[in-house]
Structure 1
Amino acid sequence: MNSTTMDTPAGPLTIIVSESGAVRGAGFTAQVEAVLAVVHPTLRGPVRSRPELGAVTDAVRSYLDGDLTAIDAVPVEQHTGGAFMTHAWQVLRRVKSGEPLTYTGFAELAGRPLAVRAAAAACARNAAALFVPCHRVLRTDGSLGGYRWGLEVKKWLLGHERH
């Protein structure tokens, strides 16, 4: 696997990709170990630091420059062992920037309207922050809720996507 850490207005973004270029982990930290810790154990391996990750770092730069759809086509590889979690992550990837939804709305969109806790768990267990945009899910009252990489990062991302 390869990794890089990019400077962003929200702070450092560390990305870990497979040999084929699929994102296995991403988080707003400069610590590769912190991102690797959220990657499913079956997808972990030795990580080599690289200055660039080709199409992945290009997509992040484009996203930061205002092309909010640039990260949508970046391949992501996550594993949970659960069908709902995998489905929920796929659904999250279809949530459009600038159109956040509530955990209840996310559960409905994922086809399980009563599974609000499971929807929240999908956000909490998401290893590929930004690429699987769990930051676009809010509490029912519209407040930010939680975010593994900090509420200031979530706030910045949502603000960036409103423009």
Structure 2
Amino acid sequence: MTPSARFATVATPPGPFTVVVTPGPDGGDVVLAAGWTGDVSDLLPVVHRALRPTWVERVEHLPVLDVVEAHAAGDVGAIDAVPVRQRSGPFLEDAWEVLRTVPAGQPDTYAEFAARCGRPAAIRAAANACARNAAALFIPCHRVLGSDGGLGGFRWGTPVKRWLLDHEAEHAPVPA
């Protein structure tokens, strides 16, 4: 278990966004969990039990919230370098890293994401990686759609997912 963590909330266009962080090895913050809620108790259960803090402190501001605000203002690449710590089995941990390679404005289907993970037949496992992601936005599981092109599910609701996809499509760099 992580002994302690800090959390803060910021307003975003689709609703309040809360992030839980812990100190990283370099002294900067590492995201343990994040999502569109004003209640930290919605986030703590999705943190792996080995990483779940025993105590969390509310703070007025965290530097990572500047990145969230930059993303909301149109800098959709601002989230790319934010350090995240999640734990699970090898496939899920690898899949979460692969999610960070899905470009803003160019969502994958679950089948394409499974192939991107090197396991094209593992479509359900790929969908499970999205469903079990504790660090929404920073691990952009919202960039994966149903195989029929529909939104599929999203822990924070399909209206939030639709806003994110539309926002990123509007502000993403045009592929070369």
Q: TM-score, normalised by structure 1?
A: 0.97
Contact 1:23 1:76 in 2 (8 A): yes
Which residues of 2 match residues 22-37 of structure 1 at below 5 A?
22-37=30-45
Aligned AA (1:39): V
Structure 2: runs of 5 or more not aligned: 171-176
Q: Aligned residue for 1:3?
A: 7
Aligned AA (1:49): R
> Aligned with 1:52: secondary structure?
coil
Deviation at 1:115, TM superposition (A): 0.4
Contact 1:2 1:19 in 2 (8 A): no
Structure 2 residue corresponding to 1:107, chosen from 80, 101, 114:
114
Which residues of 2 match residues 120-135 of structure 1 at below 5 A?
120-135=127-142
Question: Whose radius of gyration is greater, 1 or 2?
Answer: 2
Q: Distance in 1 between matches of 2:44 and 2:17?
A: 13
Matched, 1:44 2:38: no
Q: After the TM superposition, which segments of 4 or more aligned residues of structure 1 sit over 3 Å from their partners?
A: none
Percent identity (aligned) = 53
Structure 1: runs of 5 or more not aligned: none
Which residues of 2 match residues 7-156 of structure 1 at below 5 A?
7-20=11-24, 21-45=29-53, 46-54=55-63, 56-80=64-88, 82-156=89-163
Q: Distance in 2 between matches of 1:129 and 1:112?
A: 23
Q: Distance in 2 between matches of 1:11 and 1:28?
A: 6
* Greater strand share, structure number: 2
- Number of equivalences: 161
> Aligned with 1:22: secondary structure?
strand
What root-mean-square deviation, in Å, do the aligned CA atoms of Structure 1 and Structure 2 show? 0.7
Deviation at 1:34, TM superposition (A): 0.5
Q: Distance in 1 between matches of 2:127 and 2:7?
A: 27
Deviation at 1:19, TM superposition (A): 2.0
